[in-house]
Amino acid sequence: VAAHRGRPAGGLRRVAQAAVVHLAHVGEARTQRLLVRAEERVAEQVAQLQGMDQLKRFFAPAVADAILSAGAKSILTPHRREICYVFVDLRGFTAFTDSAEPEEVESVLRSYHATMGALIVEYGGTVDRFAGDGILIFFNDPLPVPDAAKRAASMALHTAG
């Protein structure tokens, strides 16, 4: 290889420059692929978080977490388990609705449902259904809880007191 005063000859210099450009281009392509993969991962995580938010609108946080982490072994698949039911409603609500304005009825129901929702989560229950002021709650499913009957009775006494 010819060299002139310690510098590569013209041909070798062009090869070296081309190699640097090639390496930069390869590095750029690799960086681009890594960025695309990172963007895909972030999108997956955002979708999972959004799914979690949607689930938490309808399930207690522990149930939502179990649903997301269970994958194919969903806790929602049919199974047999002893459960305890509690039915709660507001005493005198029907008479109240006969004389109250619709906005007042809605406000009372919203407050009642919010209060009951917090108690149901606190005691480990699951809402089966709402029917006006009536709420049907069960315990020990979809997640097993220790002392389901005691929890159900304690929550019922809490709401009555």
- First-to-final CA distance of the chain: 97
DSSP, res 73? S
Total Cβ atoms within 10 A of residue 122: 13
- pLDDT at position 55 is 67
pLDDT tens readout for residues 142-158: 888 899 999 999 999 99
| pTM recorded for the entire structure | 0.61
Residues 126 and 139: beta-carbon distance below 8 Å:
yes
Query: Which of 61-70, 83-92, 95-104 is least confident?
Result: 61-70
Is the pLDDT confidence value at 74 over 60? yes
7: pLDDT strictly greater than 80: no
Q: What is the mean pLDDT of residues 47-52?
A: 68
Alpha carbons 24 and 18: distance in angstroms, whole number: 10
pLDDT tens digits, 31-41: 767 666 767 77
Contact residues for 82 (Cβ-Cβ < 8 A; gap 6+): 140, 148
What confidence tens digit (pLDDT) does each residue in 106-133 have? 999 999 999 999 999 899 999 989 888 9
Angle between helices 61-70 and 10-58 (to 10 degrees): 130
